[in-house]
Structure 1
Amino acid sequence: MLGSACLAVLGIVAWGFYWFVSGQYLQTTDDAYVRADWVAVSARVSGYVAQVEVTDDQPVKAGDVLVRLESRDYQAFYEQAQAVVAEAEGALLAAQARQQVAAERVDQQREAIAQALAAVQSASAEDRRSQLDVQRYRGLIRDNAATQQRLETADAQAQQAHAALQGAQARLREQQALLAVTQAQSRLADIQIKARAAAQASALARRTLAQQNRQDTVIRAPVDGVIGQRQVRSGQYVVPGQPMLAVVPVHQTYVVANYKETQLTHMLPGQPATIDVDSFPDQPLHGHVASFSPGSGNVFALLPSDNATGNFTKIVQRFAVRIVLDEPQAVRVLPGMSVTTTVDTRREAGTDEQ
């Protein structure tokens, strides 16, 4: 009995020493699982599956072809859009040519106006000269220094000069009216260019969409990983958004450990962690704390509890702690595996005590 009592006392002392030295700083939970941000691959366009390029559990690289859809219809749509683009480009070139012709007509009309204006100035000068001649011959007739016939000739020339002036002014007004018409045609050509350019941009956008739809008939892996949940088969009709398979990045796995709120007192990002995987009990893994969930699991539950009604029973809440595995690892862990995690808070606790 004395020996048993001594052994018990030694056991208690040993356990107390362990707890005082390191045990009080180690926070452990078995509510932990391996996770990975896997991607559900779906089609962006509808169509029949022409060929499935991968099998279950096959490793793939980012950009590898996973599934091919029938592309004949989308190829025809692309060629149709290409024809519309060519037509729009031709219409734009024709509008630009018309605009250039209209601009040249405006320049020609301005030159014609300048010529008409010069003709008006010349006819005006001739009209003034002929009027002065008439006045001079009238004075000479009063002084009997010229004949009546000479006055009549000067008067006829003055009337002709005045008629020529009126004709030159009429031609000037005509050329000015034609300039307004050609300027309106030039503005119309500018508007047509803008309309044709907009039609070309619309056609280019439709061609881009058709090209993207044609390219989307080839579905590629978004990330490196392993194929899982393959539900697509050749000949199957798929619609946009329909899940076909999953790509699991097994090389980017991490651990989500649900710790009690009372265990988070001294837990901080960067602290070392030991992970014991149930599948490999004799090969512990190592990692470190990366981040903490912004709320408990109850906060993000579909039907969170309401403690403001009925009888209240206090329940310790759990918070998800993200633990990143250190590279490289001796074993390959897969998403969904159960693990037990132990976080060492000793360093931070010692700092607080100091």
Structure 2
Amino acid sequence: MRKLILRSVVSLAALAAVSGGWYWWQTARFIESTDNAYVEGDISIISPRIEGYVATVAVGDNQAIRAGDVLITIEDSDFRAKVAQSEANVAGAEASLATIDSQITYQNARIAQMVAAQGSAGAELNRAKQMYDRYKKLVSGKIIGTQEMDDATADKLKAEAESSRINAELVAERAQIGVLNANRAEAVAKLAEAKAALMLAQNDLEKTVIRAPIDGVIGNRAVRVGQFVSPGTQLLSLVPNDVHVVANFKETQIGHMQPGQKVKVEIDAYPGQELTGTIDSFSPASGAEFSLLPAENATGNFTKIVQRVPVRIALPENSPLHGLLRPGLSVEVAVDTGSVAAPTLAQAGGWLFGAANAAPKAKQPE
């Protein structure tokens, strides 16, 4: 009986060892796990773009909102006054431009009138010259007296003077057109400036209403009615419903990881609920490099410490926990590195430091 029991125990132990070895060879050796993982989300910090006093706060703590919903309004009386002032400036600039256009139209009519007068003066000058030449011949032949010759000479001089006067006025009127065109260009520029000021005033007025940029839940609400706020003031946080997991794996664990591999995700807040995610991307540097005081290993006090690399894990949108997960929750993850073929060394370097490898190299001098 003892021999039989001993044989049974040995057989069971051997079977367990073989089964365990088979499981390790087929599955366990491809699993990389860590409990240094957390739920994260792209939290939006809501801040005003103008300064003023808060008129209303339309949301409360932990309230779910949709993109485009009104969150906060700022007193807008001053901004409405600036819009009205800018509209008046635009109207004044448009009136000035219309006045100059009317002056240009009138000036063109004046030029046309002077051109007609120039033709009339030229005809009169031509007639006076012909009379002068005719009387000059008659005087030389002693057919008429000097009185008629004096009248012809006076008419000729008068016609020449009138023609010169009209020509000078025509030059002046045409020069005035140039002045009016310059004034019009200035008026057009002032109108454009007034319209730009009006647009800025309208933009500032629109900024008095702060709307939600995304769907999410209100958190960390620090704004209150009557509070004076300025650009950059943190009013509240908007936590999105779409979250992901960031797992900090040891540098010795990421050698066989690559995007697309399956990840088993267990959230401490929901025991028994297991999600299946996928590796989305790798951080371009270890967590220590992004710390406030990065380690300086060239000081002579070097102690080798295993570094951790943040790995982003995407969660399925149709999971039963969608909308329930909150950034900051603790997570345990296990990556099945056998679900996708292990990457080559060049591929791993590209995934881990893709941003650096993608940067164009400077051309070496010949």
TM-score by length of 1: 0.87
Alignment pair present for 1:265 and 2:270: no
**Cα shift at 1:132:** 4.1
Alignment pair present for 1:274 and 2:264: yes
- Identical-residue share of aligned pairs (%): 40
Q: Which of the numbers 318, 321, 324 marks the counterpart of 2:314?
A: 324
Distance 1:245 1:161 in 2: 98
Mapped contact 1:25–1:349 kept (Cα < 8 A): no
Q: Which of the numbers 289, 306, 316 marks the counterpart of 1:299?
A: 289
The one-letter amino acid paired with 1:14 is S
Alignment pair present for 1:63 and 2:68: yes
Mapped contact 2:82–2:201 kept (Cα < 8 A): yes
Distance 2:239 2:45 in 1: 9
Distance 1:236 1:264 in 2: 49
Mapped contact 2:257–2:343 kept (Cα < 8 A): no
Distance 2:263 2:287 in 1: 22
**Cα shift at 1:159:** 4.5
Q: Greater CA deviation, 226-235 or 296-305? A: 296-305
In structure 1, the residue corresponding to 2:340 is in which secondary structure? helix
With over 3 angstroms needed to count, the CA separation of the structure-2 counterparts of 1:292 and 1:128, relative to structure 1, is farther
In structure 2, the residue corresponding to 1:303 is in which secondary structure? coil
Mapped contact 2:54–2:229 kept (Cα < 8 A): yes
Indicate the residue corresponding to 2:361 in structure 1.
Answer: none
Q: Greater CA deviation, 112-121 or 267-276? A: 112-121
**Cα shift at 1:60:** 0.5
Q: Greater CA deviation, 330-339 or 192-201? A: 192-201
The one-letter amino acid paired with 2:197 is R
Indicate the residue corresponding to 1:140 in structure 2.
Answer: none
Distance 2:139 2:29 in 1: 132
Distance 1:28 1:124 in 2: 116
**Cα shift at 1:4:** 5.9
Q: Which of the numbers 204, 211, 216 marks the counterpart of 1:213?
A: 204
In structure 2, the residue corresponding to 1:240 is in which secondary structure? coil
Distance 1:22 1:42 in 2: 49
Superposition pairs for residues 28-177 of structure 1, below 5 Å? Answer: 28-134=33-139, 137=141, 148=142, 150=143, 152-153=144-145, 156-177=147-168
Q: Which of the numbers 308, 314, 334 marks the counterpart of 2:326?
A: 334
The one-letter amino acid paired with 1:112 is A
With over 3 angstroms needed to count, the CA separation of the structure-2 counterparts of 1:311 and 1:158, relative to structure 1, is same
Mapped contact 2:256–2:342 kept (Cα < 8 A): no
Matched positions, count = 337
Gaps of 5+ in 2: 1-5, 345-366
The one-letter amino acid paired with 1:293 is S
Alignment pair present for 1:283 and 2:273: yes
The one-letter amino acid paired with 1:246 is S
**Cα shift at 1:339:** 0.7
**Cα shift at 1:30:** 1.4
Bigger Rg over Cα: 1
The one-letter amino acid paired with 1:50 is A
TM-score by length of 2: 0.85
With over 3 angstroms needed to count, the CA separation of the structure-2 counterparts of 1:126 and 1:263, relative to structure 1, is farther
Q: Which of the numbers 331, 341, 348 marks the counterpart of 2:340?
A: 348
**Cα shift at 1:255:** 1.0
